[in-house]
C-alpha cells in the first residue's frame, strides 16, 4: 500500500517545453506581440504578452531553432527583423530583435537579381521564365511608349510622340519599380539607367516592398506601397517576406503577412487613371467580388494560383545546409498567367443546337468557372471573342439573328482570316475611350493613360457565364442536308488592329498572340425539308381566292 501511495504522490513526467523572453536589442525592453515558434513548424505561433515571455510545448528531442518576429507595421515607431536562438527542451532563452533603421539610404544603387541568385538559385531560375523578368524591356510596352521595342514599333500610337515632354506615363512605375521607387512617377521607361531598373520586376522589387496599404486605386509607390532601403552598408540584404521564421546571419528579414494576401498584387495590378479616374487594371477589385475571396474551402488568393505551392518538401535557399520546409512554404516564382493550359482549365465553352422551322439555332455559353477575376483581365488591350460559323458545302449560311463580333475583332480595313469583326459571335473586353493627351476627338480604344470613360465592358466576372444565341437561314435546303457547325472561343493578348499596326506576330516572351481557349464542332443533319415561304397576298387577291374556293365547292365552276 505504501508503494502505491508513493507512486500516486510523485509527479508524472514533465511536458517538454522551452521558455524565454523576446526583447529589444537596443534597450532590452520586453516586446509584446512577437510571433514565436520553432523554425519551419506550421500552425499558429505563440504571441508574447506585455512582458515579452513565451512558452513552447511539444518540443522535439535535440537542439531546435526558436524564432521570434514582430510583423512590420509602418504606423509603429520601431520595426524589427526576425531574431532566433538555438534551444533544447527545458532551456530558457532570450531572443533579441534588431531594429530596422528608421532612415533610408540616400543615393542607393539597388541590387540586381544576381544579388540573390547565389543563395536562391531555384527561385531565380523560375523568375527568369516569367514576364516579370522582362518587364522593363517588354517590347510591346516600349513600342507603345517610345516606339523602340520592335522594328515596326514606331508605327501607330507612340506615347512620347503624342504627350507633353515631361509626361512619363507612369510606365516605369511598375515595369522598372526598383529604380522608379526612388523617383516615384518620374522615370521614363526608355531611359531606365540602373542595372536593377533594367531587371524589371526583380527580387528586390517585391522583397524590399515593406508594405502595401489599402489605397489600391493608387498606382504602386504613388500612394499604395512603402519601399524601404535601410541606411546601412548592406541595404540589399534588408528584405520583407511572408514567413515569420526566416532568420539567417546574412539576411535582415522582416515578417510582412501582406505578402500572402491578394492586396500585395494590387500594388501593380489595380490602378486608375490619376487624372480622370478611368480604370487601368482592376484585377484586385474583381477578385474581391469573386467566389475565390470568400472564406472557406474555396478561398484562393492571387498567390495560390499564380505562385502555387511546391509538390514536395525542400529548402527555400540553395545555400548548403539549408533547412527543409513544408511544400506550403515553398512558392513558385514563375508567376504564370494566361497560357493555353491555364485558360482551358479556367474557362468553359458549351454549345447547344436546335432547328426551329427553317432555321438553325446555335446557343453558346462561356463560363468563367476557374479564374479568380474577370475574363479577360488586366490591361485593356486584352480581349476575347466567341466566333460562330455554320456552313453547307463550304458556303456560309446567312445569319438571321444574334450578335456579331465588335470592331476590335479586325484590323482596320483587314481582310485576313483573323479579321472577324461583323461575323456571328460576341466580344469580351473592356473598351476605354478618351482624347489623346486630353486633346482632340474622343477615340476608342485607348490605353488607360488617355482614358476618360469606359465605352463598353462585356467581360465575364469570376463565377459567372455569358450566353448568346444565333440563328441561321436553312431556306432552300432539303431534309438530309448537312450543316457544318463550328464555335471557337479565342483569347487575344492585343487588339487585332494594334498587333497589325506594330507588326507583332508573337508576344514579348515568344508566345502566341491568339489562343484558342476552347472549340466545338459538329454536323447538323436537317430533319425536314426547309419550308418554302408562301408569297404574301394583298387583300383583293385574297378575296378573289376565297370567292373562287366558294364557287368551286358549290359546283359553280366546272372542269373543262
Sorted by where each starts, the structural domains of the chain and their CATH numbers stand as 16-97 (2.60.40.1120), 114-329 (no CATH), 340-525 (no CATH)
Query: Which pLDDT does position 319 carry in this prediction?
Result: 84
Residue 310 CA to residue 101 CA, distance in Å, equals: 34
Q: Which of 262, 231, 239, 210 is nearest to 73 (CA)?
A: 210
Residue 465 CA to residue 50 CA, distance in Å, equals: 52
Beta strands in 397-506 (DSSP E): 399-401, 425-428, 430-433, 453-457, 465-473, 482-492
C-alpha distance across the termini of the chain, in Å = 137
Residue 209 CA to residue 227 CA, distance in Å, equals: 4
Measure CA 350 to chain center: 25
Query: Which pLDDT does position 560 carry in this prediction?
Result: 35
CB 348 within 8 A of CB 369: yes
Beta strands in 261-401 (DSSP E): 270-272, 279-282, 347-354, 359-368, 383-392, 395-396, 399-401
* Bridge partners (DSSP) listed for residue 367: 348, 465
Residue 554 in grid coordinates? 358549290
Residue 66 CA to residue 20 CA, distance in Å, equals: 10
Q: Which of 376, 392, 379 is nearest to 473 (CA)?
A: 392
Query: Which pLDDT does position 331 carry in this prediction?
Result: 97
Beta strands in 278-398 (DSSP E): 279-282, 347-354, 359-368, 383-392, 395-396
Residue 388 CA to residue 384 CA, distance in Å, equals: 13
CB 174 within 8 A of CB 220: yes
Residue 388 CA to residue 405 CA, distance in Å, equals: 10
Residue 524 CA to residue 351 CA, distance in Å, equals: 13
Query: Which pLDDT does position 320 carry in this prediction?
Result: 79
Query: Which pLDDT does position 107 carry in this prediction?
Result: 87
Reduced to 3 states (helix: H, G, I; strand: E, B; else coil), residue 464 is coil
The three-state DSSP-derived secondary structure of 99-162 is ECCCCECCCCCCCCCHHHHCCCHHHHHHHHCCHHHHHHHCHHHHHHHCCCCCCCCCCCCCHHHH
Reduced to 3 states (helix: H, G, I; strand: E, B; else coil), residue 254 is strand
| pLDDT, one tens digit for every residue, the chain (560 residues) | 434 433 344 444 456 799 999 999 999 999 999 999 999 999 999 999 999 999 999 999 999 999 999 999 999 999 999 999 999 999 999 999 999 999 999 989 888 999 999 999 999 999 999 999 999 999 999 999 999 999 999 999 999 999 999 999 999 999 999 999 989 999 999 999 999 999 999 999 999 999 999 999 999 999 999 999 999 999 999 999 999 999 988 899 999 999 999 999 999 999 999 999 999 999 999 999 999 999 999 999 999 999 999 999 999 998 878 899 999 999 999 999 999 999 999 999 999 999 999 999 999 999 999 999 999 999 999 999 999 999 999 999 999 999 999 999 999 988 999 999 999 999 999 999 999 999 999 999 999 999 999 999 999 999 999 999 999 999 999 999 999 999 999 999 999 999 999 999 999 999 999 999 999 999 999 997 544 444 544 545 555 554 544 444 444 333 33
Torsion of CA 34, 39, 42, 45, to 10 degrees: -20
Residue 60 CA to residue 485 CA, distance in Å, equals: 66
Residue 403 in grid coordinates? 450578335
Q: Give 369's Cβ-side CA count (13 Å radius).
A: 9
CB 476 within 8 A of CB 483: no
Residue 408 CA to residue 457 CA, distance in Å, equals: 13
Amino acid at each position: 500500500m505504501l508503494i502505491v501511495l508513493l507512486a500516486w504522490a510523485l509527479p508524472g513526467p514533465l511536458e517538454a517545453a522551452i521558455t524565454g523572453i523576446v526583447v529589444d536589442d537596443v534597450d532590452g525592453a520586453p516586446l509584446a506581440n512577437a510571433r514565436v515558434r520553432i523554425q519551419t513548424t506550421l500552425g499558429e505561433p505563440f504571441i508574447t504578452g506585455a512582458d515579452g515571455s513565451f512558452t513552447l510545448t511539444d518540443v522535439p528531442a535535440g537542439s531546435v531553432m526558436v524564432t521570434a518576429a514582430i510583423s512590420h507595421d509602418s504606423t509603429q515607431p520601431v520595426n524589427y527583423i526576425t531574431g532566433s536562438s538555438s534551444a533544447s527542451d527545458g532551456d530558457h532563452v532570450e531572443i533579441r530583435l534588431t531594429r530596422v533603421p528608421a532612415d533610408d539610404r540616400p543615393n542607393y544603387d539597388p541590387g540586381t537579381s544576381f544579388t540573390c541568385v547565389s543563395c536562391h538559385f531555384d527561385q531565380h531560375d523560375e523568375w527568369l521564365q516569367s514576364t516579370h523578368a522582362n518587364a522593363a524591356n517588354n517590347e510591346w510596352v516600349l513600342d507603345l511608349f517610345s516606339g523602340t521595342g520592335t522594328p515596326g514599333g514606331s508605327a501607330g500610337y507612340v506615347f512620347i510622340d503624342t504627350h507633353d515632354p515631361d509626361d512619363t506615363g507612369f510606365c516605369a512605375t511598375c515595369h522598372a519599380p526598383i529604380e522608379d521607387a526612388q523617383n516615384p512617377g518620374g522615370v521614363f521607361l526608355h531611359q531606365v539607367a540602373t542595372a536593377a531598373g533594367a531587371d524589371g520586376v526583380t527580387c528586390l522589387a517585391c522583397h524590399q516592398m515593406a508594405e502595401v496599404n489599402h489605397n489600391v486605386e493608387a498606382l504602386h509607390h504613388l500612394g499604395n506601397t512603402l519601399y524601404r532601403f535601410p541606411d546601412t552598408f548592406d541595404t540589399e540584404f534588408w528584405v520583407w517576406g511572408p514567413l515569420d521564421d526566416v532568420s539567417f546571419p546574412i539576411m535582415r528579414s522582416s515578417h510582412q503577412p501582406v505578402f500572402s494576401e491578394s492586396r500585395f498584387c494590387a500594388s501593380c495590378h489595380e490602378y486608375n487613371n490619376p487624372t480622370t479616374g478611368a480604370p487601368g487594371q482592376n484585377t484586385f477589385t474583381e477578385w474581391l467580388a469573386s467566389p475565390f475571396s470568400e472564406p472557406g474551402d474555396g478561398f484562393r488568393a492571387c498567390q495560390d494560383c499564380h505562385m502555387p505551392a511546391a509538390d514536395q518538401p525542400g529548402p527555400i535557399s540553395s545555400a548548403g545546409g539549408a533547412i527543409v520546409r513544408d511544400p506550403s512554404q515553398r512558392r513558385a516564382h514563375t508567376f504564370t498567367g494566361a497560357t493555353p493550359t491555364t485558360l482551358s482549365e479556367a474557362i468553359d465553352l458549351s454549345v447547344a443546337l436546335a432547328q426551329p422551322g427553317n432555321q438553325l439555332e446555335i446557343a453558346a455559353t462561356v463560363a468563367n468557372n476557374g479564374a479568380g477575376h474577370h475574363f479577360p483581365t488586366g490591361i485593356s488591350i486584352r480581349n476575347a471573342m466567341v466566333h460562330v460559323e455554320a456552313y453547307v458545302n463550304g458556303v456560309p449560311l446567312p445569319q438571321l439573328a444574334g450578335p456579331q463580333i465588335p470592331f476590335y475583332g479586325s484590323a482596320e480595313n483587314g481582310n485576313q482570316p483573323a479579321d472577324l469583326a461583323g461575323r456571328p459571335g460576341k466580344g469580351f473586353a473592356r473598351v476605354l475611350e478618351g482624347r489623346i493627351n486630353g486633346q482632340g476627338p474622343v477615340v476608342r480604344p485607348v490605353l488607360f493613360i488617355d482614358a476618360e470613360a469606359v465605352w463598353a465592358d462585356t467581360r465575364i466576372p469570376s463565377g459567372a457565364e455569358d450566353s448568346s444565341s444565333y440563328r441561321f437561314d436553312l431556306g432552300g435546303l432539303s431534309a438530309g442536308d448537312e450543316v457544318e457547325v463550328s464555335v471557337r472561343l479565342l483569347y487575344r493578348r492585343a487588339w487585332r488592329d494594334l498587333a497589325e499596326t506594330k507588326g507583332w506576330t508573337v508576344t514579348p516572351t515568344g508566345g502566341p498572340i491568339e489562343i484558342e481557349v476552347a472549340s466545338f464542332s459538329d454536323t447538323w443533319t436537317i430533319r425536314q425539308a426547309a419550308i418554302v415561304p408562301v408569297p404574301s397576298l394583298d387583300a383583293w387577291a385574297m378575296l378573289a381566292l376565297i370567292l373562287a374556293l366558294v364557287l368551286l365547292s358549290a359546283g359553280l365552276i366546272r372542269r373543262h
